[in-house]
Copies of this chain bind each other. A is one copy, B any other.
Amino acid sequence: MSDTKTPKRGRPRQFDEEQALDAITTLFWQKGYSQTSVVDLVQASGIKKPSLYRVLGSKEEIFSRVLRRYLAARMSMFATLIDNSGPGVDGIHTFLSLMRDDVLSGTSQNGCLLVESSAELHGTTPGFTNFGSVYRSAVREQMQVLAGKAGGTNRQIESRSQLLTTWFLGLDLTVRGGGDEEEIDNSIDAMHGVVEAWGESPVAATA
């Protein structure tokens, strides 16, 4: 957990740690935690079992690390999408379009790893229990920024970001569950419809 850096003496490591974690992430992403065996990890990463345990820890520790890494990467991607989508209600529509491309692209084909893990493992393995709520909080934070683009009162922004959050989780579940392009487009179009109304009557309500 601490000696993951290159040492000064001894036989040099023959694998790249981050690269191995990428391969392992992909595997967990496809098969889930329970259905992925340590032997699978060995084959995917190219690291033999004892080295895997020494450098990356147990299966549970590896998965925990993978989830944290994944969360950071996903949120960064999310933030970039929001940044690139421009201001105003139009910006929200643009975001939805950008997100559609991402969801339909190869990398997100398996849906969200955290959604899968949250659904699969909540309440079973101590230590994995909180990842779901951590992920939802992170998404909600981003959605607050997004919803803020449409203006409105704080209460409106709060309510809209919550709607976006729950909706987004449902979309991710749809993707994970094998939803086809039409189904995904319908979901996103439905949200486009809701967002349109956010542009109307930008009057500041007091109550």
Contact = CB atoms under 8 A, between A and B. Distances in A.
A183 B178 CA distance: 27
Contacts of A173: 115, 118-119, 169-170, 173
A58 B124 CA distance: 23
Contact of A115 (B119, B123, B124): B119
Query: Which of A135, A166, A174 has the largest number of chain B CB atoms within 10 A?
Result: A166
B110 A178 contact: no
A155 B167 CA distance: 19
Interface string A175-207: 011110001001101110110010000000000
A115 B82 CA distance: 28
A171 interface: yes
Interface stretch (A48-56, A66-74, A126-134): A126-134
Given A133-B177, A163-B194, A178-B130, A123 B170 contact: no
Given A34-B34, A111-B119, A123-B30, A133 B169 contact: no
Contacts of A110: 123
Interface residues of A, number: 49
Contacts of A162: 186-187, 189-190
A129 B194 CA distance: 31
Copies assembled:
2
27 contacts: A30-B123, A30-B124, A31-B124, A32-B34, A34-B34, A35-B121, A35-B124, A110-B123, A111-B119, A119-B119, A119-B173, A119-B177, A122-B176, A123-B178, A129-B178, A130-B178, A132-B178, A132-B179, A136-B183, A162-B190, A165-B170, A166-B167, A166-B187, A166-B190, A168-B170, A169-B173, A194-B194
Interface of A: 30-32, 34-35, 110-111, 115-116, 118-124, 129-130, 132-133, 135-136, 158-160, 162-163, 165-171, 173-174, 176-179, 183, 186-187, 189-191, 193-194, 197
